A and B are shown apart, each in its own frame.
Chain A
Amino acid sequence: MITRRILVQALVCLPLAASIGCAKPDSAGPSGAGSAASPPAGGTVTLNGAGATFPYPLYSKWISEYNKANPNVQVNYQSIGSGGGIRQISAGTVDFGASDAPMTADETQKAPGKLHHIPTTLGAVVITYNVPGLSAPLKLSADAVSGVYLGTIKKWNDPKIAEGNPGASLPDKDIAVVYRSDGSGTTAVFTDYLAKVSSDYKDKVGAGKSVKWPVGLGAKGNEGVTGQVKTTPYTIGYVELAYARQNKLPIAQVKNKGGQFVEPTAESITAAAAGVDVGDTLTASLTDPAGEKAYPIASFTYLLVFEDAKDRTRGQALAKFLWWALHDGQKHAAELDYAPLPDAVIKKTEERLRTLRSGNDKLLPAG
């Protein structure tokens, strides 16, 4: 009996002892990534970022390449979604945020300091489809795309689709529409395009990361849309370019403002951004741009950084990383089916990076 009682006491006290034991070293050091303690010179700097999922493959490539060249800088990026990225940077829990859509005025106001948008790369949303018997790439006008997603075009052999595809054997079948059910930058870009080309769509549905679609089925993620389109004949859906390319999906050509049917490629996407003025905010909507070579459903994606870095060492490391991404990083974009930024945007972004500071110290050397 006595031994058992001792055993019970020991067992009960064990977690208590362990928790006391654990508490000691914990309280000694600072905790949390947000603390301002700067690492000693020559030590490793860790930068934390969070946000958009869309550029994640490119950012992780950048991070590993940059780390090879600068082993003392470790960048962590969590792809938690653009909304989360904006929330995290506004709360100051990360060094940089990332978002596909620019922050709204309301969001900018809530941030504790001045945040800059740094465009990093370009992406496109493509229309994929499953029409048995169709060999040449489908060609769609803006009216055809908006009509399908409004539910006013119901059949594949509708005259609005047929006029762009002379000679193609379009079946007399109902179009099964698939949209992204999860809130996404992809949907935001696609609906932004639809709202620009169709006033009817703008009034009835509107643009956003999640919208109330008049027709169709919702699928989760690029992979969900792809799955539904692949397994269901006579479907149409939209996914990001990189995803469509890597999965060898059929990709429709879309008629642009210049009246040309354009295939989404790195060149046609960069062309979409070339004619756009990014203004002082360095943000712009790239959908339905002018220009005969431009693919009309494209967008920037941005990193969000505070103009005034709380910690000089980390701020400087971040500014250098951004500078590298803006120059050396661009060549990785096309490999991964993103499009490099046009020169004019790079120039303007360089100027913006030079304004980054910590207190009164600029983080990058002038010109």
Chain B
Amino acid sequence: MALLGAEVNVGDLVFRGFAALFAVSIVLVLGAMALQMWVAARPSIAHSGWHFVVGRDWDPVRDSFGALPFIYGTVVSSLLALTIAVPISLGVAVFLTEVAPPWLRSPVSFLVELLAAVPSVIYGLWGIFALAPFLRNHLEPLLGKTLGFLPLFQGPHQGFGMLAGGIILAIMITPTISSVSREVLRAVPDNLREGALALGATRWEALRHAILPYARSGIVGAIILGLGRALGETMAITMVIGNRADISASLFAPGYTMASVIANEFTEATGDIYLGALAEIGLLLFAVTLLLNVIARLLVWQVARAPEGARG
């Protein structure tokens, strides 16, 4: 009590204890979930072994389970979504912070954020009744005609498939990426902008060489958030991706994601091996998400250390 007594008080102690408790509880919940899924997946792990991760055959009738088409579908649809959503979201964010007149900023950003509030089943219905017919009748024939030499754009035009899934996901993650990026760009100090412009840079040059490098790590963080949402999204993509456990190079072909197969089959699954297989897919989804997040973190770390960055 003599020396430190002035510094330590009960409130601080309690506060510190609670904060630590809450922090630990997240880790515990995560650990408990992983453990529970592992226990549930054990019959399947024993039954299928490594074949589960590399096998392409998913046949519940014959208890033959290979999850590769789902892993492929999840990764490809999410990357496709990022490919579409990142340029658009960054465009929106740059427009809102650097280009748009002030009176336009809040209505536009409000509208973009409204996209995030639309329930995913609504996106799915829109996908079935508007997007898929549009893809089948217009976009897929056009892509087939112009870029048909690529295996990506070959095959029959069905509307429902990987392309539809990627586009739906892209629309769903755009508000996440753009609003976080916008906050990051807003946090760039004005004297950087002014300095660049004072040195005779055009607006584009100021953006390219002063503002974006400063905001780079934050923007990558925004993209990771978007990726996380794309990986886990279930309802909307299930409704448009075609739900076929095939691996096809063409984006027109139907696919299947890990989250979708769990949502589709879990309620009616019977038998320990079948249920275990679905739990193991959950475990794999955990692993894939973790892996992609680690890769993205490493990327951020790399970017943050790059010499061009204004921040060390």
Interface of A toward B, CB cutoff 8 Å: 5, 8-9, 12-13, 15, 80-84, 86, 104, 106-107, 174, 176, 181-185, 205-213, 216-220, 224, 227-228, 231-232
Contacts and interface: CB of A to CB of B under 8 A. Distances in A.
A213 B61 CA distance: 11
Contacts, number: 114
Given A5-B9, A210-B265, A12 B18 contact: yes
Given A206-B62, A217-B254, A220-B238, A212 B245 contact: yes
Contacts of B106: none
Interface residues of B, number: 41
Interface stretch (B153-161, B204-212, B290-298, B301-309): B153-161
10 contacts: A12-B14, A84-B267, A182-B265, A212-B61, A217-B158, A218-B242, A224-B239, A228-B160, A231-B133, A232-B158
B60 A208 contact: yes
B271 A106 contact: yes
Interface in B1-49: 9-11, 14-15, 18
A217 B156 CA distance: 12
A363 B132 CA distance: 55
Given A5-B11, A231-B129, A183 B263 contact: no
Contacts of A81: 267-268
Interface of B: 9-11, 14-15, 18, 57-62, 125, 128-129, 132-133, 136, 156, 158-161, 238-239, 242-245, 254, 256, 260, 263-271
A231 B128 contact: yes
Given A210-B60, A231-B128, A231-B132, 15 more contacts: A8-B11, A9-B10, A82-B268, A83-B267, A83-B269, A86-B270, A181-B264, A182-B268, A207-B61, A211-B59, A211-B61, A218-B254, A219-B239, A224-B128, A232-B158
Contacts of B239: 219-220, 224, 227
A193 to B, nearest CB: 15
Given A176-B158, A205-B61, A212-B245, A183 B265 contact: yes
Contacts of A208: 60-61
A217 B244 contact: yes
Contact of B243 (A209, A218, A231): A218
A101 to B, nearest CB: 9
Contacts of B10: 9
Contacts of B62: 206
A83 B267 CA distance: 6
A211 B264 CA distance: 12
B11, B132, B158, B256 — most chain A CB neighbours (10 Å): B11
A174 B156 contact: yes
A9 B242 CA distance: 56
Contacts of A13: 14
Given A83-B267, A206-B62, A209-B268, A232 B244 contact: no
A208 B58 CA distance: 13
